Structure 1
Amino acid sequence: MTETTLPTTGLRSSLRHIWRDQRVWLTSAVILVTLAVFDMPQAIDSAVFSANALLQTAPFLILSIAIAAWAGATGADNLIARAFTGAPLLMIGLGALAGGISPFCSCGVIPLIAALLAMGVPLSAVMAFWLASPIMDPSMFVLTAGVLDLEFAIAKTLAAIGLGAFGGMVVHLMMKGGAFADPLREGIGNGGCGGAKVRAPKPVAWRFWAEAERRAKFGKTALSTTLFLAKWLTLAFILESLMLAWIPAETVTAALGGEGLMPIVTATLVGVPAYLNGYAALPLVGGLIEQGMAPGAGLAFLVAGGVTSIPAAMAVWALARPQVFALYIGLSLTGAFASGLLFQLWSSVL
């Protein structure tokens, strides 16, 4: 009985490991195969959309992956982590400011987020950076000013920094009560191990390529991070392509029109599932404002959608524990509504 049971148990265990390690790739494959069976043109469109989206984000992804791998191989991650130690409020403010002006997209910054959390950097400072980063960057500022106007671009930048600072403060207060001792998912990293690097830093070897062990660490980190991002972003972009194909823009327009408080509430909630992407959303919001939508509702839509867009949200889900993900979504919605309300009040005064 034992001899016949062991192979079966081993097979089940192997299948569980395969599913656990490859479930994201398998899910993407199942979606594309199902589309190919029932709607071949959409299957082709989704595959092409995902490939193009990956190519467009590739420069930021490559840069962030290289920085994360370089920091680990040289030991510069010690310096990065130490830069985030100190007065918590100051670190939260700096994290929010850095996120609001950094050129990284919401997906490209994930390797840096993982590295910071694994090194024991407080979640409060990291969350401030994390929330602010998807909303604004230098190119987005210029495009927002061109498509909408300079006032809107400045408001969106302030909303990004304000949301980051607000989120960081909430996390800081919760951490003082004992929450979020280990924010990363199992297998991605842990603050205890990384925290030792901060407490007992080792010398930095800037010429890491001169040592075989450090070269190997660079390659291993770069490969694992690339595979991690590739599988999650592929699935995210496939889902985004289906959302664009199956949710007409007219539906979004009808839901977000009008003035008053309710359009801001609606825009905040609708921004979660209906957000296209940072660049495609700007012309949509511009058209809605021309049709009578309040500017505050437009800002709430952009802020909520930017932080909770499918690629950004799935990246957070893949990296952090469910309670951190839930807080991330809650903070983004609260901050988006507050940003839209304040901008609407400001616009009405002027």
Structure 2
Amino acid sequence: MSINRIWLVSLGIILLLVLIDRAQALDSVVFTANALATTAPYLLLSIFIAAWAGATGADNLIAGAFSGSPLVMIGLAAVAGGFSPFCSCGVIPLIAALLAMNVPLSAVMAFWLASPIMDPSMFVLTTGVIGLEFAVAKTLAALGLGITGGLVVHALTISGGLTDPLRPGIGSGGCGGRKVRDPQPVIWRFWTDADRRAKFFKEARSITLFLARWLTLAFLLESLMLAFVPAESVTALLGGTGVGPTAIATLVGVPAYLNGYAALPLVGGLLEQGMAPGAGLAFLVAGGVTSIPAALAVWALVRLPVFALYIALSLGGAFTIGLLYTAWTAL
């Protein structure tokens, strides 16, 4: 069995530290182990939630968000994006399926903007790593960005813009598409079905390995950041209540964002060193929606006007959300 490249990166960092600073290597390993142990209860709960959603078929409930009047669909789609656990292969194929089936772009955009920011597993881990207030703010940010983006697209669509959003040749395949085209019933008592029990354990194993490798790397990087990045530098660049720190965090979030789960410990460490809370939230929102891998996937799927609007809504929304949260925390 080949070793995942994320594990290799973590191992490489530790070996490099052993060569140049053996004491820091030991400190980083201890820091990472302690951080993983501290977040273990939240980690286990998030794994259970995600595996349970897959085994019961609760993620199929997302199909109900894309029916009704356009305004109702926008609200439901934002909620579905912000609260529904979704399989890792599903987001991009799902968007293609929705658009190919002529679901209004406004509802699709609402889901698309809200989905990368928050889900139940992310909420639990955000609470454990940063705090409940920040997790609630991030959830509200997901809903607010999704609804606002959907309403903007709805207004543009009514005026005659944004027709035929998909690039030529884009189909509607993928497991995400099937959830909408052919939603399956939810079986809450999944343990009574052998196949669903097997799916639960398979999902739990897959999610455990995914979170373990990303959080190990994230806590390792956090240990290096705390060791080598002066707190006063972070405070000077990203602290305070002005628009500058939030704008910088919004723009930096695009190339620097690793993964929704991996970013949490990094932002937690920056907040401890003086980063403004609003800047931290802006980083997570902007990075989640417009990280380079996500942006490339969107680019490959939709025409240029839709892609440009997606980026503008993401960055503009993240910046505004950061300012609002900074104002709230200053009260």
Instruction: Place the TM-score, normalised by the shorter chain, in its bin.
Output: 0.5 to 0.7
Change in CA separation of 1:132 and 1:83 when aligned onto 2, cut-off 3 Å = closer
Distance 2:161 2:264 in 1: 37
Measure how far apart 1:189 and its partner are. 4.1
String of CA shifts for 1:108-156, please: whole Å, max 9, x gaps: 3111111111000000000000000000111110010000000000000
Alignment partner of 1:258 is 2:239: yes
* Aligned partner letter, 2:113: L
Distance 2:86 2:249 in 1: 25
Distance 1:254 1:347 in 2: 16
More displaced 10-residue stretch of structure 1: 290-299 or 251-260: 251-260
Alignment partner of 1:170 is 2:127: no
Which residue of structure 2 lines up, in the alignment, with residue 131 of structure 1?
A: 113
String of CA shifts for 1:174-212, please: whole Å, max 9, x gaps: 11111111111100149xxxxxxxxxx9xx898xxxxxx
Alignment partner of 1:147 is 2:129: yes
TM-score calculated relative to the size of structure 1 = 0.60
Q: Which has the larger radius of gyration?
A: 1
Which residue of structure 2 lines up, in the alignment, with residue 275 of structure 1?
A: 257
Alignment partner of 1:120 is 2:102: yes
Which residue of structure 1 lines up, in the alignment, with residue 28 of structure 2?
A: none
State which of 309, 314, 319 in structure 2 corresponds to 1:327. 309
Distance 2:98 2:262 in 1: 31
State which of 53, 75, 90 in structure 2 corresponds to 1:93. 75
Which residue of structure 2 lines up, in the alignment, with residue 48 of structure 1?
A: 5
TM-score calculated relative to the size of structure 2 = 0.63
Distance 2:234 2:81 in 1: 30
Alignment partner of 1:306 is 2:288: yes
Measure how far apart 1:339 and its partner are. 1.0
Q: Contact between 1:117 and 1:189, CA under 8 Å: does it hold in 2?
A: no
Local SS of the residue matching 2:260: coil
> What are the within-5 Å matches in structure 2 for residues 289-300 of structure 1?
289-300=271-282
Distance 1:146 1:268 in 2: 23
State which of 143, 146, 150 in structure 2 corresponds to 1:161. 143
Measure how far apart 1:340 and its partner are. 0.8
Cα root mean square deviation, aligned: 3.9
Alignment partner of 1:342 is 2:289: no
Count of aligned pairs between the two proteins: 239
Q: Contact between 1:167 and 1:331, CA under 8 Å: does it hold in 2?
A: yes
Local SS of the residue matching 1:302: helix
Distance 1:134 1:254 in 2: 28
Measure how far apart 1:105 and its partner are. 6.3
Measure how far apart 1:98 and its partner are. 0.6
> What are the within-5 Å matches in structure 2 for residues 200-279 of structure 1?
250=229, 256-261=237-242, 262-279=244-261
State which of 161, 172, 181 in structure 1 corresponds to 2:163. 181
* Aligned partner letter, 1:276: L
Change in CA separation of 1:285 and 1:271 when aligned onto 2, cut-off 3 Å = same
Measure how far apart 1:286 and its partner are. 0.9
* Aligned partner letter, 1:181: T
Measure how far apart 1:84 and its partner are. 2.6
Specify every segment of 5 or more residues in structure 2 that has no aligned partner in the other structure, as ranges. Answer: 10-49, 173-180, 185-216
Distance 1:157 1:105 in 2: 19
* Aligned partner letter, 1:344: T
Local SS of the residue matching 1:116: helix
Q: Contact between 1:105 and 1:133, CA under 8 Å: does it hold in 2?
A: no
Measure how far apart 1:267 and its partner are. 0.6
Change in CA separation of 1:205 and 1:283 when aligned onto 2, cut-off 3 Å = closer
String of CA shifts for 1:218-266, please: whole Å, max 9, x gaps: xxxxxxxxxxxxxxxxxxxxxxx9xx99xx9659958853212210111
Change in CA separation of 1:348 and 1:315 when aligned onto 2, cut-off 3 Å = same
Which residue of structure 2 lines up, in the alignment, with residue 13 of structure 1?
A: none
Q: Contact between 1:256 and 1:288, CA under 8 Å: does it hold in 2?
A: no
Alignment partner of 1:288 is 2:270: yes
